[in-house]
């Protein structure tokens, strides 16, 4: 499975998907500091600098045709911390470029990540655009605490695939990971269920169940990252990139499920 990683940041998506057995063939990232991080850890993988100029023709010429497109498009206009412009905003509106590339490339799978506020600030448009391109989709909100991280980072994850192609090997429906809830289980990838709550965890076939260490309050443990960085440019860049990154364990779980059901 060859991956095109859009809005790559410092490579959290690719780290998780490569753990699942996929291969990143190209990045697209505009931020110079994040591009330097990608170049350090993936020195052989080309990185395009602007999604607005990235095309299927360029990928074909470079021999980089992907099976999977992934990426968390900018959330600034969607987040409740912003002004709420949604997909009409200049930054979150880059979803349209993401959708353009899906239409040009027609990948086997699309994985999209964004803040949970997308539920009320544009998810219908995202799903509508995917449907117009001929893709079905499943989505769910999964906080980082569900995979054992000591913080919330509640995010929505969308997995899309060509319409009618939901079945995998031997015609079986895609395997669904479950959420362990008070001794029982709930389906993870079910758009009709409420979001995965704090205090719940993902039970996976690929290792021990990871239990959330976060309850309903503030963090139980503070990550070892300094919060005061005035005047220290490198530290500011590091904190910003960490804040924008996805937790790799979640794309890893998604990637392993895709790998299991794909011939």
Residues annotated as part of the active site: 75
Q: CB under 8 Å to 109, separation ≥6 — which residues? A: 1, 67, 68, 69, 159, 160, 161, 258
- Looking at 5-75, list the stretches that DSSP marks H as alpha helix, in order from N- to C-terminal side: 12-19, 32-41, 56-62
- Cα–Cα distance measured from residue 203 to residue 76, given in angstroms and rounded to the nearest whole number: 32
d(CA 96, CA 94): 5
DSSP state of 162: E
DSSP letter string, 171-232: GPBPP--EEEETTEEEESS-TTSPPPPTT-EEE-TTSSPPPP---SSS-SS--S--S--TT-
- Taking Cα atoms as reference points, which of 50, 71, 57, 51 lies closest to residue 3? 71
Torsion of CA 76, 82, 85, 86, to 10 degrees: 50
Q: Is 208 exposed, middle or buried (0-12, 13-18, 19+ CB in 10 A)?
A: exposed
């Amino acid at each position: 499975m060859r991956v095109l990683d859009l809005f790559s940041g410092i490579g959290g998506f690719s780290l998780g998907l490569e753990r699942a057995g996929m291969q990143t063939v190209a990045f697209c990232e505009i931020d110079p500091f994040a591009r330097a991080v990608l170049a350090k850890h993936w020195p052989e993988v080309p990185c395009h600098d602007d999604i607005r100029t990235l095309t299927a023709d360029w990928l074909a010429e470079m021999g980089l045709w992907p099976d999977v497109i992934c990426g968390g498009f900018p959330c600034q206009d969607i987040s409740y911390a912003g002004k709420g412009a949604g997909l009409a905003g200049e930054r979150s509106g880059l979803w349209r470029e993401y959708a353009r590339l899906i239409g040009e490339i027609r990948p086997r799978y699309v994985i999209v990540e964004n803040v949970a506020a997308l539920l009320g600030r544009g998810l219908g448009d995202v799903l509508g655009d995917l449907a117009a391109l001929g893709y079905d989709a499943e989505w769910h909100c999964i906080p980082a605490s569900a995979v054992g991280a000591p913080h919330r980072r509640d995010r929505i994850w969308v997995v899309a695939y060509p319409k009618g192609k939901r079945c995998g090997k031997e015609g079986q429906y895609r395997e669904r990971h479950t959420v362990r809830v008070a001794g029982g289980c709930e389906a993870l990838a079910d758009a009709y269920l409420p979001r995965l709550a704090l205090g719940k965890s993902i039970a996976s076939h690929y290792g021990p169940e990871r239990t959330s260490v976060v309850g309903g309050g503030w963090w139980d443990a503070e990550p070892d990252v300094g919060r005061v960085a005035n005047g220290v440019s490198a530290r500011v860049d590091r904190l910003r990139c960490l804040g924008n990154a996805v937790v790799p364990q979640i794309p890893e779980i998604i990637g392993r499920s895709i790998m299991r059901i794909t011939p």
